[in-house]
Amino acid sequence: MIQAAIFDMDGLLVDSEPHWRDVEIEVFRTVGLEMDDEMCKRTTGLPTDAVVRYWYEKHPWTNRSLEEVGAEIIQNVYGQIEQYAQAMPGVPDILDLFQQHGIPMAIASASPMHLIEAVIDRLNIRSYFTLWHSATLEKRNKPHPDVYLGTARKLGVEPRFCVAFEDSGNGLKSAHAAGMMTVAVPADYEFDEPKFDIATLKIPSLREFNVSQLKKIENQLSIAPATR
């Protein structure tokens, strides 16, 4: 009954969050803002422009434009990912699972297209996906539903027949608002936070998702119309 599986990218398919944090610490230092990992975690899942704006509002600077800071962060992360990024645990198995069941797969990411393509080439997973879509090409980025609605439209499926995988609260809001079944895969440090309670299913790792979990999702989908 599931007609498409749609995946977030950063922190879900690729272990990119440490690279984002390292680059943010380095770039924000150029505007006099000393960051650490815990500060960076506050904005996990937000688009880069929203991250820059968040910190500018708390610690304004005058020596660089917000656009310049954001562009440098993306450029530096791109370089890090191209060289060093690794797949998150469970990625090959979950992609094989959906492929074996003949369910089309797509990526719906807040990152720009060139970064999405750098990741899929780095991880050698391009052949699994029907398409990939960036929220930067939509009117609104996550947590708005635009990128998920746009991805479903490009796939030619109704959002309610899609299952979306997300690791961040903002991304989960995006998929949930699009009307999709959702699987939350939060990081350890925020696994128990209530923002993930809206998920159809919550698991600690993609390794936990198997045929049994897929059937649970499909069972919930089969009864959903009767409860609306």
Active site residues: 8, 10
- Token pair for residue 209? 């998702």
Helix (H) or strand (E) holding 61: none
How far apart CA 115 and CA 208 sit, in angstroms, is 27
Residue ranges in 31-112 assigned as alpha helix (H): 37-41, 48-58, 66-84, 91-100
**Contact indicator for 5, 165 with CB cutoff of 8 Å:** yes
Helices 169-177 and 146-155: crossing angle in degrees, nearest 10, is: 50
How far apart CA 120 and CA 167 sit, in angstroms, is 18
How far apart CA 161 and CA 152 sit, in angstroms, is 9
- Listed residue (34, 22, 7) closest to 168, CA to CA: 7
- Token pair for residue 41? 């975690």
**Contact indicator for 173, 193 with CB cutoff of 8 Å:** no
- Token pair for residue 156? 């030619």
- Listed residue (201, 198, 197) closest to 218, CA to CA: 201
